[in-house]
Amino acid sequence: MGRLGVRTVACVGVALALVAGPGAPGAWGGGASSGSPTLTLLSQTPWVGPGQAMELHLGLGTAAHSSLTLGLTLYAPLTSRSAFAQTVNGAGLGRVLSASGAIAVAGLSADPGGGVDLTVPVAGGDAPSTGTGPFAADLNCQPGACGGVYPLHLELTSNSGARAQLTTYLVYADPPATTQKLRLAWVVPLGSAPSSSDAPGALTPGAVGLGAVADVLSALEARPTVAVTLAPEPATMAALADSSRPRWRSAVAGLGALGAVAGHQILAQSYVPVDATALVSAGLGGELSDQIHRAAQVLAPWRAVPGASTWVSTDGVDQASVAALRGLGFTHLVLPPSAVTQGGPAPIFTPTEPFALSAGRGVSIQTAESDPGLGAHLSAASGPGAALAAYQLLADLALVYYEHPNLDTPRAVMAVGPPTWAPAPVFLDTVLSALESDPLVVPVSLDTLFASVPSATGVTHRPAATNSSSTLPARQLRSARARLSAFADAVEGQSAVGVIRGLDERLLATEDERLRPAQQVEALGAFGNSLDAQLAALSIRSDTVRLTSTAAKVPITVVKQAPYSVTGVLRITGSKVVFPSGAAQVPGSVCRSPSVQVTAERSVFSCTATIGHTTNAVYVDMRARATGDFRLTVTLTSPSGRLVLAESHLTVRSMSTSAVALALSLAAMAVLLVWWGRTLWRGRRSGRRGAHVRARRPVAAR
């Protein structure tokens, strides 16, 4: 089957096909109104071999059984994946091999769990059928050539003419002893979609999703012999481990034990699901690195084999993102077919071999395609059609095996579920129990697949063209990362580790590709608020300082309410002061390496300050250039100066007089006193001379 056929499978909904006849509409599962016929597959035999019968367990809704008849039609085996995709919805069933008449439902065995049971004897080749039932499936095949996937159509009809129908598959497994089983690498995602928390814009794994992840882990742990590749989302695992629900904590505790089982594998991807190409194309390759490193740290307690290995993507890649992933330690890729451009003719059969993906400049990375058809069955793993989806998945795998049974070269396919996967328990139970003893398929881990299946030769593969435009808020992300990095450089202590980790995880969560752009921006705002709340724990008192002399030691008080220590650069700037000797070296001083810069317009004092106590005082020598009130700006920044940790203004009230002004005032007063003295002396002398002249003047005769 060609690549187009494989992609067609992904586009076909894996669902229970129910068609209504005249007089009453058909319905899904148990959603019909009372009395309407519904037909649901509850369980069946996943495959039969020579001399075995097929058992069917059917749910029939609320209609009275006495009014219902059932018809079965068996069709010729399918020969391609594209034909299989059509039959999922009841179309293109092909050539009829055998059909039953109308079977009275009232005559079928009632199942204790509800519904009815039906045995279908199977006759193939020279093997006689066993068991009894109202319908026998005659495969009409030659001995040794009966193996394949046969559509089996069921139709339920009421007395009123209303109908309900579904299509399942009879898998006849009679493989030659010399052929190899089809290898299946099943990637099980363990993640919960983010939901809004109490804080506006803050996102945490949703409770419903957490419960589903716990259920998946419990089901896998119950059947540890089925090799799977687990892709746990670190944010979800951390939420489960911190949960107050014992069942959730128990489930995640078993993740490490499951990963240690032979054949299993635990992947370390990113902290939350991200589009690697979008991050790299937006110039945020550092964020991709942070995502992967944080994921490895969170998952370290559960991973038996640390380190990066295989990157599983549901998006496209380009050469830049491939090179970035290579640089981060990934040696294998798993991509959807749409992300790969193939040179040469399209393949006839389902792609089942790894290949070299060119990243340019002679660099390549071993890659394998995820199968979109198998992924579609996984996406349909919930709801009333979950059991049918499980058997469709098993039948689809059998069809891939029968496409090209091989003797020498192993073949493999990959089934990758959606990032947020909540399968019904019946789906997991059905698939896991079947794979434990499947005669056609053997589960393996991704590492085993790449190690045991040779890569295709003679074919050139390249990343498909991708849309380089990104909706990521790149500017806001860069700004947020710069602020967090500066804050991390400023704080220290064990309590600071948890604070930085929490802020980092909140920032990484904003890059979740499941979020809409508006949600990412809102989440970035919530991150900023969280960082601002940490900064609010630092403050500088806005005091009024009085200078009553030409120089004084002025206290600068920094208050810290956080449990961790803070180291930064304390800077005091003023235009009407000078700092003659820097900080006074007194016991308990928080400043070191003081320095002073003086220009004609302003003076700047700075030092490296370690804020370790609740109240921290720095005494700074200061002299006023003038009298009056003026302001000083006091800032505490991160060591790099890129983040203001605290800022305030001090009012300085100078009441002192400078020495020059005092000398001038004294000189002026002395001059004034001299002038006053001379003036007074001259006045008195002039008076005495006048009196002496009058005494010597003759008295005029009268």
Residues 413-429 have pLDDT tens digits of 999 998 889 999 999 99
Please say whether the beta carbons of 326 and 290 come within 8 A.
no
Indicate whether 138 and 121 sit together in one domain: yes
Indicate whether 365 and 509 sit together in one domain: no
Segment 625-668, tens digit of pLDDT: 777 888 889 999 999 999 999 999 988 887 755 555 555 566 66
The pLDDT of residue 13: 38
The pLDDT of residue 659: 53
The pair of structure tokens assigned to 233 is: 């989302």
Task: Name the helix (H) or strand (E) containing 501.
Answer: helix 494-509
Indicate whether 114 and 208 sit together in one domain: no
User: How many other C-beta atoms lie within 10 A of the C-beta of residue 537?
Assistant: 15
Using DSSP bridges, classify how beta strands 461-463 and 538-540 pair: parallel, antiparallel or unpaired.
unpaired
- Residue 386 forms part of a structural domain: no
Please say whether the beta carbons of 189 and 233 come within 8 A.
yes
The pair of structure tokens assigned to 698 is: 């003759």
Please say whether the beta carbons of 61 and 36 come within 8 A.
yes
Q: Which residue from 31, 42, 38 is spatially nearest to 424, judged by alpha carbons?
A: 42
Indicate whether 115 and 133 sit together in one domain: yes
The pair of structure tokens assigned to 669 is: 């007063």
Q: Which residue has the higher pLDDT, 695 or 337?
A: 337
Q: Which residue from 46, 55, 72, 65 is spatially nearest to 117, judged by alpha carbons?
A: 55
Residue 297 DSSP SS3 = helix
- Amino acid code (one letter) for 261: V
User: How many other C-beta atoms lie within 10 A of the C-beta of residue 3?
Assistant: 18
- Residue 407 forms part of a structural domain: no
Interatomic CA distance for residues 652 and 579, integer angstroms: 14
Q: Assign residue 284 the CATH number of its domain.
A: 3.20.110.20
Please say whether the beta carbons of 593 and 568 come within 8 A.
no
Segment 227-252, tens digit of pLDDT: 999 999 999 999 898 888 998 888 88
Using DSSP bridges, classify how beta strands 53-61 and 96-99 pair: parallel, antiparallel or unpaired.
unpaired
Using DSSP bridges, classify how beta strands 310-312 and 332-335 pair: parallel, antiparallel or unpaired.
parallel
Q: Assign residue 630 the CATH number of its domain.
A: 2.60.40.680
Residue 536: burial class (beta carbons within 10 Å; 0-12, 13-18, 19+): exposed
Residue 101: burial class (beta carbons within 10 Å; 0-12, 13-18, 19+): exposed
pLDDT at residue 261 is higher than 70 = yes
Indicate whether 625 and 605 sit together in one domain: yes
The pair of structure tokens assigned to 397 is: 């795998």
How would you classify residue 85: left for phi > 0, otherwise alpha for psi between -120 and 50, otherwise beta? alpha
Interatomic CA distance for residues 402 and 441, integer angstroms: 11
Indicate whether 454 and 310 sit together in one domain: yes
User: How many other C-beta atoms lie within 10 A of the C-beta of residue 51?
Assistant: 14
The pLDDT of residue 144: 85
Q: Which residue from 547, 568, 656 is spatially nearest to 618, judged by alpha carbons?
A: 568
Indicate whether 544 and 646 sit together in one domain: yes
- Residue 357 forms part of a structural domain: yes
Indicate whether 29 and 99 sit together in one domain: yes
Task: Name the helix (H) or strand (E) containing 185.
Answer: strand 182-190
Interatomic CA distance for residues 121 and 119, integer angstroms: 6
Q: Which residue has the higher pLDDT, 658 or 311?
A: 311
| Residues making up the chain, counted from first to last | 702
Indicate whether 213 and 330 sit together in one domain: yes
Tokens 């300085």 belong to residue: 652
Interatomic CA distance for residues 491 and 249, integer angstroms: 32
Who's near 46: CB < 8 A, 6+ residues apart? 171, 391, 394, 430, 434, 438
- Residue 408 forms part of a structural domain: no
Interatomic CA distance for residues 139 and 172, integer angstroms: 9
Q: Which residue from 519, 593, 580 is spatially nearest to 554, judged by alpha carbons?
A: 580
Please report how many Cα atoms fall inside a 13 Å half-sphere around the Cα of residue 38, on the Cβ side. 20
Indicate whether 165 and 277 sit together in one domain: no
Interatomic CA distance for residues 614 and 603, integer angstroms: 29
Q: Assign residue 21 the CATH number of its domain.
A: 2.60.40.1930
Interatomic CA distance for residues 480 and 468, integer angstroms: 23
Sign of CA dihedral 463, 320, 416, 455: positive
Angle at 424 between CA 422 and CA 430, to 5 degrees: 125
Please say whether the beta carbons of 639 and 565 come within 8 A.
no
Sign of CA dihedral 340, 344, 349, 352: negative
What does the pLDDT average to over 122-141? 87
Compute CA distances 600 → 93, 250, 616, 632, whole Å.
93, 70, 31, 16
- Residue 394 forms part of a structural domain: no
The pLDDT of residue 691: 55
Q: Which residue from 572, 582, 540, 544 is spatially nearest to 559, judged by alpha carbons?
A: 540
- Residue 252 forms part of a structural domain: yes
Instruction: Identify the band that residue 30 occupies on the pLDDT scale cut at 50, 70 and 90.
Output: very low
What's the 3-state SS for 223-237?
Answer: CCCCCCEEEECHHHH
- Residue 320 forms part of a structural domain: yes
Segment 425-460, tens digit of pLDDT: 999 999 999 999 999 999 999 999 999 999 887 776
Indicate whether 227 and 245 sit together in one domain: yes
Indicate whether 530 and 553 sit together in one domain: no
Determine phi and psi for 39, rounding to 5 degrees. Answer: -130, 120
Using DSSP bridges, classify how beta strands 552-560 and 310-312 pair: parallel, antiparallel or unpaired.
unpaired
Which strands make up the sheet holding 332-335, listed edge to edge? 310-312, 332-335, 363-369, 355-360, 461-463, 340-342
Residue 77 DSSP SS3 = coil
Instruction: Identify the band that residue 130 occupies on the pLDDT scale cut at 50, 70 and 90.
Output: confident
Interatomic CA distance for residues 215 and 516, integer angstroms: 28
Segment 456-485, tens digit of pLDDT: 877 768 898 766 567 899 999 999 999 999
Interatomic CA distance for residues 629 and 623, integer angstroms: 13
Dihedral Cα 687, 690, 691, 697, nearest 10 deg:
180
Is the entire prediction scored with pTM above 0.75?
yes
Mean pLDDT is highest, among 255-269, 457-471, 573-587, for: 255-269
Who's near 600: CB < 8 A, 6+ residues apart? none
The DSSP string of 235-273 is: HHHHHHHT-S-HHHHHHHHHHHHHHTSTT-EE----SS-
Q: Which residue has the higher pLDDT, 15 or 544?
A: 544
Instruction: Work out how many domains the chain is built from and give that number.
Output: 5
Query: DSSP label at 102?
Result: P
Sign of CA dihedral 269, 275, 281, 283: negative
- Residue 389 forms part of a structural domain: no
- Amino acid code (one letter) for 688: R
pLDDT at residue 610 is higher than 70 = yes
Compute CA distances 699 → 689, 695, 702, whole Å.
19, 9, 9
Expressed as residue numbers, the domain containing 364 is 184-191+204-371+413-463
The pair of structure tokens assigned to 6 is: 């494989």
Interatomic CA distance for residues 593 and 585, integer angstroms: 11
pLDDT at residue 105 is higher than 70 = yes
